[in-house]
């Protein structure tokens, strides 16, 4: 059994997870600070990939990064890079599809972040970046990890947009999900089953991880004790 | 050391319009919940931007809408204690204070300074605890130590005691007072609790629906409040609309009676009388009101007697007079009794709106 699709899926998912992590955290941080109207508009745009059919995303990607597209053509001309039908083409599609999951989960965590921690840090003379990295990110840790895991899982399982921009080239662009489809078409059910089980196993592990993180995340982090301790007596 | 504040900010439901000055003293900002007290402190700290106005601390302009000056909170050196203490939950007590000390640039004798600070706030031994592991009192001490570590020029306390039960509150109040006595600069103390303010502060600025009233000594607020809002905040229970009568006395409209109140200030529209200054008397005399007892309520250490003056319209909000007597003095009074009560002229407070 050729394990290339597993390796290819994992590297695509890993790279797009890294990208969505930084873009998602940045977007969540800055959009939380914008005025309500702009926030609503930006929020809609950034969440759109979550509700759009992946084929629509694939369509737009082909239009823009295809060999004749406004982005694909100059890149081809100046760098000689073909952006579609290669293994890394899938990074574009999986990043766009996984981004809203990261962005929304992190934004939820940032919104539940206690503003007085930010304010007290500022009045104590701590820089905004110090407060962000050393107070806000650790405090919102669970939400950020949950978003990352979700984004990774979505990127790993992406089929529609990916199959449009990468096609299916065994040993070059094949991912787990495109392989399952191809094997079924060819009637190789036994092999398709193996890949289906690999997929099920990965998804199950991811969901268990997310559930464990979320249940910890929902617990109140700071129950202020109002009772007297021995020292106060 | 002096702080001068004059700011305006539109808060949607009402407009914040606050103006006061404070020297080296504990100045209270007293007002009902949601009147803009906390917002005022946040504007001074620089975490919220006022729409217009000016904030000057020790001659340095922190905010000036005309000159477009708005110093970031990090450069204002203004300590603000939040009601929930806002300790960083992911850091230990020592890390909470150490990060602030490091930023304040006191890294030279860091260890020494830190342990000294921890000792003076009785939190030595708690270095490795996380905030969630501390009691409310310990959290407050850590938060105060952390504020002093930042080297503030003024300290602002935002309802520091209101989240605590009454016994713990008294303990923390004493500790706060001990700390404030050693702090040389200005302290602003926000609260809606008049007792706390009477004990802790020297001057008070009443804020009523976003608008500040002139700063006055704390004693004056309780002995001689001049507005209806400050009388309400000082705990006065009885009010009547009033207007001057011909004979130099005043007419208490809600109580349907004429009273002598000494001097009735120009612009006064109301009178207020504290519940425990009203006494029952045997017969009609100067400044007595004939009343019917409508309800007798037992309080913990006293008896509250609700009275309806003869001829008063009981449907009006302020028609009833509340009298508080010791349990012994009130023993013979029953609902339905008719009696006279005396209100001394000196106990009647003329109030402007």
What is the mean predicted confidence (pLDDT) over A66-76?
91
Which residues from B are below 8 Å from A123, CB to CB?
45-47, 73-74, 76, 78-80, 150
Token pair in block for residue A53: 């059919």
Interface TM-score (ipTM) > 0.95: no
Percent of chain A with pLDDT over 90: 75
Nearest to B43 by CA among B26, B29, B59, B24: B29
Q: Residue A95: which pLDDT band, with cuts at 50, 70 and 90?
A: very high
What is the mean predicted confidence (pLDDT) over B126-140?
90
Token pair in block for residue A190: 């036994």
Q: What's the gap in Å between the CA of B198 and the closest CA on chain A?
A: 24
Phi and psi at residue B271, to the nearest 5°: -125, 150
- Does the structure show a pLDDT above 80 at A185? yes
- Does the structure show a pLDDT above 60 at B109? no
What is the mean predicted confidence (pLDDT) over B47-71?
94
Top-confidence range, A113-127, B211-225, B242-256, B312-326 = A113-127
Give the least confident one: A112-126, A177-191, A198-212, B70-84: A198-212
Centre a 10 Å sphere on the Cβ of residue B95 and count the other Cβ atoms it contains: 15
Residue-level pLDDT at A216: 66
- d(CA A40, CA B116) in angstroms, rounded, equals 50
What is the mean predicted confidence (pLDDT) over B339-345?
91
CA angle B161, B166, B169 (to 5 degrees): 35
- The continuous run of DSSP H or E covering B3 comes out as strand B3-10
What is the mean predicted confidence (pLDDT) over B151-171?
85
- Does the structure show a pLDDT above 50 at B215? yes
Residue-level pLDDT at B111: 79
Domains in chain A, CATH or no CATH each? 4-227 (1.10.3720.10)
What is the mean predicted confidence (pLDDT) over B11-40?
91
For residues A202 and B164, the model is more confident at A202
- d(CA B17, CA B39) in angstroms, rounded, equals 11
Instruction: Write out pLDDT tens, residues A151-174.
Output: 999 999 899 999 999 999 999 999
Q: Residue A231: which pLDDT band, with cuts at 50, 70 and 90?
A: very low
Percent of chain B with pLDDT over 70: 98
Q: Residue A217: which pLDDT band, with cuts at 50, 70 and 90?
A: low
Residue-level pLDDT at B105: 67
Across-strand partners of B30? B191, B206
Residue-level pLDDT at B172: 83
- d(CA B348, CA A99) in angstroms, rounded, equals 69
DSSP string, A130-196: HHIIIIIHHHTHHHHHHHHHHHHHHHHH--HHHHHHH---TTTT--HHHHHHHHHHTT-HHHHHHHH
- d(CA B57, CA B51) in angstroms, rounded, equals 19
Residue-level pLDDT at A218: 55
What is the mean predicted confidence (pLDDT) over B73-94?
93
For residue B42, give the 3-state DSSP assignment. Answer: helix
List residues of chain B with CB under 8 Å from any CB of chain A. 42, 45-47, 72-74, 76-80, 82, 84-86, 88-91, 99-100, 103-104, 131-132, 134-139, 143, 146-147, 149-150, 163-165, 167-168, 171
Percent of chain B with pLDDT over 90: 48
Residue-level pLDDT at B116: 85
What is the mean predicted confidence (pLDDT) over A130-142?
92
- d(CA A163, CA A177) in angstroms, rounded, equals 9
Which residues from A are below 8 Å from B147, CB to CB?
124
Mean pLDDT, chain A, whole residue set:
88
User: Are the beta carbons of A46 and A99 closer than 8 angstroms?
Assistant: yes
Residue-level pLDDT at A1: 77
- Does the structure show a pLDDT above 50 at A227? no
Nearest to B295 by CA among B322, B275, B318, B277: B322
Helices (H) and strands (E) in chain B, counts: 8, 22
- Does the structure show a pLDDT above 50 at A37? yes
Mean pLDDT, chain B, whole residue set:
89
User: Of B73, B136, B150, which is closest to A225 when you measure between CB atoms?
Assistant: B136
Residue-level pLDDT at B147: 93
- d(CA A182, CA A192) in angstroms, rounded, equals 9
- Does the structure show a pLDDT above 70 at A224? no
List residues of chain A with CB under 8 Å from any CB of chain B. 114, 116-127, 130, 134-135, 138-139, 221-229, 231-232
**Alpha carbon distances (Å) from B285 to A25, A217, B49, B310, B340:** 77, 71, 58, 15, 9
User: Of A117, A125, A232, which is closest to B88 when you measure between CB atoms?
Assistant: A117
- Does the structure show a pLDDT above 90 at B35? no
Give the least confident one: A18-32, B93-107, B138-152: B93-107
Residue-level pLDDT at B92: 94
Residue spans of alpha helices (H) in B1-74: 37-45
Residue spans of alpha helices (H) in chain A: 4-33, 36-51, 54-65, 72-79, 89-111, 115-123, 128-131, 137-139, 141-157, 160-166, 176-185, 189-218
The residue among B88, B145, B175 with the most chain A CBs within 10 A of its CB, best to mutate, is B88
Token pair in block for residue B276: 């425990």
- Does the structure show a pLDDT above 60 at B256? yes
Percent of chain A with pLDDT over 70: 92
Q: What's the gap in Å between the CA of B77 and the closest CA on chain A?
A: 7
- Does the structure show a pLDDT above 50 at A223? no
Phi and psi at residue A188, to the nearest 5°: -90, 70
What is the mean predicted confidence (pLDDT) over B240-268?
84
Residue-level pLDDT at B32: 85
What is the mean predicted confidence (pLDDT) over B236-256?
87
b/e map B146-161, b = 16+ CB within 10 Å:
bbbbbbbbbbbbbbbb
- d(CA A98, CA A154) in angstroms, rounded, equals 6
Q: Global pTM?
A: 0.79
- Does the structure show a pLDDT above 90 at B286? no
- The continuous run of DSSP H or E covering B252 comes out as strand B250-252
- Does the structure show a pLDDT above 90 at B249? no
- The continuous run of DSSP H or E covering B239 comes out as strand B238-244
- How many Å separate Cα B34 from the centre of its chain? 13
What is the mean predicted confidence (pLDDT) over A53-78?
93
């Amino acid at each position: 059994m050729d394990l290339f699709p597993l390796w290819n899926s994992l590297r695509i998912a890993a790279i797009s997870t890294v990208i969505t992590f930084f873009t998602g955290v940045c977007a969540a941080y800055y959009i939380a600070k914008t005025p309500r109207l702009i926030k609503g508009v930006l929020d809609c745009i950034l969440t759109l990939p979550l509700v759009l059919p992946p084929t629509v995303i694939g369509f737009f990607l082909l239009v823009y990064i295809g060999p004749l597209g406004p982005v694909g053509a100059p890149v081809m001309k100046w760098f000689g890079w073909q952006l579609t039908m290669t293994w890394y083409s899938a990074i574009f599609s999986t990043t766009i599809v996984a981004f809203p999951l990261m962005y929304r989960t992190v934004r939820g965590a940032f919104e539940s972040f206690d503003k007085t921690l930010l304010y007290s840090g500022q009045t104590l003379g701590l820089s905004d970046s110090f407060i962000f990295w050393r107070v806000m990110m650790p405090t919102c840790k669970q939400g950020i990890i949950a978003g990352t895991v979700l984004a990774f899982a979505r990127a790993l399982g992406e089929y529609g947009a990916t199959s449009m921009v990468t096609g299916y080239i065994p040993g070059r662009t094949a991912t787990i999900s495109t392989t399952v489809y191809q094997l079924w078409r060819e009637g190789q059910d036994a092999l398709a089953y193996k890949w289906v089980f690999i997929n099920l196993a990965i998804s199950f592990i991811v969901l268990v991880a997310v559930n464990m993180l979320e249940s910890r995340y929902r617990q109140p982090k700071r129950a202020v004790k109002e009772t007297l301790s021995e020292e106060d007596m | 050391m002096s702080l001068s504040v004059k700011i305006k900010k539109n808060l949607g439901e009402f407009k914040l319009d606050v103006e006061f000055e404070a020297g080296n003293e504990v100045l209270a900002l007293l007002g009902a919940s949601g009147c803009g007290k906390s917002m005022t402190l946040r504007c001074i700290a620089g975490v919220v931007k006022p729409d217009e106005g000016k904030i000057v601390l020790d001659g340095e302009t922190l905010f000036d809408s005309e000159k477009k000056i708005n110093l970031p909170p990090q450069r204002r050196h203004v300590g603000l204690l939040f009601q929930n203490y806002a300790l960083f939950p992911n850091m230990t007590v020592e890390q909470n204070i150490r990060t602030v000390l490091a930023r304040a640039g006191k890294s030279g004798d860091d260890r020494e300074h830190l342990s000294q600070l921890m000792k003076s706030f009785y939190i030595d031994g708690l270095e490795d605890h996380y905030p969630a592991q501390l009691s409310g009192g310990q959290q407050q001490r850590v938060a105060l130590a952390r504020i002093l570590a930042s080297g503030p020029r003024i300290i602002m306390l935002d309802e520091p005691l209101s989240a605590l039960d009454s016994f713990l509150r008294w303990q923390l109040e004493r500790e706060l007072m001990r700390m404030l006595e050693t702090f040389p600069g200005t302290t602003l103390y926000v609260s809606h609790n008049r007792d706390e303010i009477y004990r802790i502060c020297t001057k008070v600025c009443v804020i009523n629906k976003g608008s500040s009233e002139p700063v006055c000594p704390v004693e004056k607020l309780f002995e001689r409040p001049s507005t209806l809002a400050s009388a309400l905040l000082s705990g006065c229970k009885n009010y009547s609309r009033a207007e001057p009568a011909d004979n130099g006395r005043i007419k208490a409209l809600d109580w349907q009676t004429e009273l002598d109140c000494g001097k009735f200030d120009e612009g006064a529209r109301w009178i207020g009388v504290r519940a425990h200054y009203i006494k029952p008397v045997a017969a009609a005399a100067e400044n007595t009101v004939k009343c019917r007892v409508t309800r007798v309520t037992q309080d913990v250490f006293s008896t509250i007697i609700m009275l309806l003056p003869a001829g008063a319209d009981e449907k009006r909000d302020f028609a009833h007079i509340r009298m508080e007597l010791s349990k012994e003095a009130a023993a013979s009074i029953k609902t339905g009794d008719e009696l006279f009560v005396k209100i001394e002229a000196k106990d009647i407070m003329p109030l402007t709106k």
